[in-house]
A and B are shown apart, each in its own frame.
Chain A
């Protein structure tokens, strides 16, 4: 995993602030793999309770806070659907990813 401990802490605390203490964050993609290059931070967030407008706002605030704290960079956010069927991408992320 190619994120510093400080970066991991920022991601976890920002997720808790925005999505609640029960939310979990998974790092997947190239940053989860020590052998790969590439800069994008791919995150999957699992949370319960936020939907509609509150969820739309939370996603925006999460990404904005991360960029302000970690520096401007490509961060992609995938949400685990709360009340709907997961897609193949969620399964792939779980298989290759690391829960923070």
Chain B
């Protein structure tokens, strides 16, 4: 494609993608039916179906973070004429927090670390795996509400052409 799509259609696309990830996350969470928090012993007793749902959760948690961090956030900065593409990611997050689009830059960075940490399975430390899963399950609704906050601003832009 040689034409650069303007922000509007890219915004629509990324919002749709994020909603898909959220739907999959919610489905996996519901299917898991875990009594939180889970222990190392619980982790070792997980059946194949549960492991499948957990894998889905982790995968979609990562995909949602990537879609938001790499595409939705820069797009929102762009429509606010605040985008400097060369700016480091963490500086963009700080800017988004200052603009009131995300509640906390630090929280976002911690979620990124949580995603990395939870992606590693420690065969000899089921307790660590269990704690990482507990943290993921706690983080998910908060991540979804950050998305809803940003999506609200995005929809306002899409409807009126401005964010005010």
Question: Which of A's residues lie within 8 Å of B, judged by CB?
Answer: 51-53, 55-57, 59-61, 63-64, 67-68, 71-72, 84
Contact = CB atoms under 8 A, between A and B. Distances in A.
Which of A52, A55, A64 has most chain B Cβ within 10 Å?
A64
State the 7 A-B residue pairs at the shortest beta-carbon distance, nearest first.
A56-B131, A64-B109, A64-B110, A60-B113, A63-B113, A53-B131, A64-B113
Determine the main DSSP class of B at the interface with A: helix
Interface residues of B, number: 20
A72 B88 contact: yes
A77 to B, nearest CB: 9
A53 B109 contact: no
Given A52-B127, A53-B37, A60 B114 contact: yes
**Chain B CB within 10 Å — which of A56, A67, A72 has the most?**
A56
Interface in B81-107: 88-90, 105-106
Contacts of A71: 88, 90
Given A55-B131, A60-B117, 19 more contacts: A52-B131, A53-B131, A56-B117, A56-B128, A56-B135, A57-B135, A59-B117, A60-B110, A61-B110, A63-B113, A64-B110, A67-B90, A67-B109, A68-B90, A68-B105, A68-B106, A68-B109, A72-B89, A84-B125
Interface of A is mostly: helix
Contacts of B114: 60
A67 B90 CA distance: 8
Contacts of A52: 127, 131
B134 interface: yes
19 contacts: A52-B131, A53-B135, A55-B128, A56-B117, A56-B132, A56-B135, A57-B135, A60-B110, A61-B110, A63-B113, A64-B110, A64-B113, A67-B90, A67-B109, A68-B106, A68-B109, A71-B88, A72-B88, A84-B125
